[in-house]
Amino acid sequence: MANDQRDEQLFAVDVTPFEAQHECLTGGVNKTFRHYDPRQQFLVPPSLDDWLGENHLARFVSDLVEEVLDLEPFLSSYREVRGYPPYDPRLMLKILLYGYTTGTRSSRAIELACSDVVAFRWLSANQTPDFRSIARFRRRHLVALRELFRTSLELCREAGMVTLGTVALDGTKVRANASRRKAMSYRHLSDKERILAAEVDDLLHDAEVTDAREDRAFGKDKRNEDLPRELARREHRLAVMRKAKADLEERARDSAATTARERAAKAGLEDVEVEQKAAEAASVAVPKDTAQANFTDPDSRIMKTSDGSFHYCYNAQAIVDGVHQVIVATSLDNRSSDCPTLPSMLDQMNKNTGTSPRRLLCDAGYFSEDNVKAATARGVDAYIATGRLRHEEVMPATPRGRIPRNLSAKERMARKLRTKPGRAAYARRKTIVEPVFGQIDTCQGGKRLLLRGIEGATAEWDLLAACHNLRKLFNFTTTAKMVTTKA
């Protein structure tokens, strides 16, 4: 009797095969198909670990977080003992890194993937963090997530993937998370501000008259009454518009001061005179009527993208190593011009790697005499295009003989690029840096940013660059492992 009870406990689940509800498939011949039963039950619970391949990217991300990354910056931010226990930072970091590496970046998409995608379920150990927790974790650890780029670059260097023989610098416009419908021009802001200010004054007057009438009828109430809802809403809109208008005016003053400062410096004026010219230009600067202010992401700017259209964007920069397409330096700002970023990008690359490359390749957007001098001063042999050939234009013939002494910096660079070594070197630019932006766009969905503001957008772009390097490292190490196994 005891044995019968024990057997009943061991096999409490009904494992008796049930009859199929669907008729057997028949075809033109009496063909036998493999057994298929969607309702089949398991005596032993299946393991998710068996559903992932040995060389799966999720395993690489998990080992990276568990054994390589420094988790102290993430753990040190938790200082409050009270409250409901948060999700383990290792879990959150794993699903974020895997999501940004595979193109699942939205917090809602990651939440859904943690229940629908085997790799995410494996990384989260069958837990399903809600999208609010994922978004808060990402926003809370922006600084620590930015540092992952340096960590990924160091791992690639240790694997021998960074040579710094030939590198290429280029920029790409990444769309900001900004609505084009929630923006106003400076002229429209000025007109709307006057109308809204008059409406607020009228509502305030009506509120004061109503308060006085009620005080006479019911007596004064010592409590602080809230403003009428409509008045509060309009006052908030007025404050937002005034701030946007002030930002446009400040931007115009900064731009005018910078332009005047550059012109005065080129004219050879003294430092005091240079600053005086800049102050004078800033004092009279007025924004253009068409200058735009966006209310969803005020830091973004309207830029022309590669398809010829105009969107609210940020300008992302990257220096890429020529051997394994590893990003060695990157930045993001809201200036549409690429030219001013070259010196700072070279300095960042030197800081990240401890050395400078032998050869730098750039397109015409980076050419200036100052940039040529900056590259030369850092010991870099720069190949910067001086202009773009038209569709029907033919490349000039290869120059011969000695270089004339009276050539300008632009003419010297153009002559350098027309030589056979120059043509061969510059031809590699498109195969080095442009595929990287294509891979980030296609594999990681990095053509559009999710976080708003210059700080959030910069952190997200650095995370995308870090995940690009990690994907390159994963492919490199996996290939090397397979070659070693076969040997």
Residue 24 DSSP one-character state? P
Q: pTM, whole model, 2 decimals?
A: 0.82
What is the C-alpha separation between 245 and 292, in angstroms, rounded? 9
Residue 358 DSSP one-character state? S
* Position 217, amino acid: A
Find out whether 293 and 183 touch, Cβ atoms under 8 Å.
yes
Strands 166-175 and 183-185: unpaired
As given in the structure block, the two tokens for residue 198 are 């008059």
Strand ranges in 130-288 using DSSP code E only, listed in sequence order? 166-175, 183-185
Specify burial of residue 378 (Cβ count, 10 A radius: 0-12, 13-18, 19+): middle
Residue 338 DSSP one-character state? S
Helix (H, G, I), strand (E, B) or coil at 29: coil
Instruction: Look at residue 71 in the predicted model and tell me its pLDDT.
Output: 92
Residue entry with tokens 């010991």: 379
What is the C-alpha separation between 330 and 317, in angstroms, rounded? 5
Find out whether 444 and 100 touch, Cβ atoms under 8 Å.
yes
Instruction: Look at residue 15 in the predicted model and tell me its pLDDT.
Output: 46
Find out whether 374 and 342 touch, Cβ atoms under 8 Å.
yes
What is the C-alpha separation between 275 and 262, in angstroms, rounded? 10
- For the chain, helix, strand, coil in percent to 5 are 55, 10, 35
Strands 166-175 and 359-362: parallel
Beta-bridge partners for 301 = 313
Q: What is the pLDDT along the chain (487 residues), one digit of tens a residue?
A: 455 554 555 444 444 444 445 555 655 677 777 888 888 888 887 888 888 988 999 999 999 999 999 999 998 888 877 878 889 999 999 999 999 999 999 999 999 999 999 999 999 999 999 999 999 999 999 999 999 999 999 999 999 999 999 999 999 999 999 988 887 777 877 777 777 777 677 667 666 666 677 666 666 554 445 556 777 777 777 787 788 778 888 888 888 888 888 888 878 888 888 888 888 888 888 888 888 888 888 899 989 988 888 999 999 999 999 999 999 999 999 999 999 999 999 999 999 999 999 999 999 999 999 999 999 999 999 999 988 765 555 566 666 667 777 788 888 898 898 888 899 999 999 999 999 999 999 999 888 999 999 999 999 999 999 999 999 999 999 887 766 666 5
Residue entry with tokens 């999208």: 131
